[in-house]
Amino acid sequence: MLDFTILTNHLDSFLEGLKITLISSLIALLCSFILGTLLAIMRIAPIKPLNWLGTAYIEFIRNIPVLVIVFFTYLAGHFGGMIAGTIGLTIYTAAFIAEAIRAGILSVPKGQMEAARSTGLSYGQSMRWIILPQAIKIVIPPLGNQFINLVKNSSLLAVVAGGDLMYQGDLISAKTYVTFDTYIFVALFYLILTIPLSIGVRFLEKRLARSNVGGA
């Protein structure tokens, strides 16, 4: 049986950790989406240096463990744990989001860009108003999965004293010497965050599938 006194006696700490995890995840979600979109555009832009820079970033970051990136951000940037962890998550997740969005852009028929340019729109305007909205709609399911992974990866804030759920769990475990029950409750709080996200992603995936069938 679980020792529910761990939860009741330390509920404030759990909730504080949940708040930090949620705030960090939301900031990293927004920032990694923006950065990932820019990187995706760089990879396919008709300017070779931008292609090389975008490709180098993505290949370099994707092949480094996220824990190393979080540590490097913390030690090199001299930020607090939460800020360093959030920056590290943003840097790491953006590389994967970039590849998802790039795949979406490439799946949009080339004629769409040509038609947009023929109306007098610049490359940037065509990408912003015509191509990206279609590409992002196509890749919503994989983007959703990346966002779920980001929330789970936020547990790495604990290693730099980020004040998140895992960090609070570590403190409670060290204080009470009750390890198993403490981390069960930590896992349950993570489920509170990730299950609604999973349900939302599945809902969007089914809705998009129906709209595509209807459009066909």
Rounded to two decimals, what is the model's pTM? 0.91
Per-residue pLDDT of the chain (216 residues; tens, 9 = 90+): 889 999 999 999 999 999 999 999 999 999 999 999 999 999 998 899 999 999 999 999 999 999 999 999 999 988 999 999 999 999 999 999 999 999 999 999 989 999 999 999 998 899 999 999 999 888 988 899 999 999 999 999 999 999 999 999 999 999 999 999 999 999 999 999 999 999 988 888 888 777 766 555
Q: Let me know if 3 is exposed, middle or buried by CB neighbors in 10 A (0-12, 13-18, 19+).
A: middle
Q: Residue ranges per domain, the chain? A: 5-215
Q: What burial letters (b/e) apply to 51-67, b meaning 16+ CB within 10 Å?
A: eeebeebbeebeeeebe
Q: Let me know if 85 is exposed, middle or buried by CB neighbors in 10 A (0-12, 13-18, 19+).
A: buried
**Per the CATH hierarchy, to which homologous superfamily does domain 5-215 belong?**
MetI-like (1.10.3720.10)
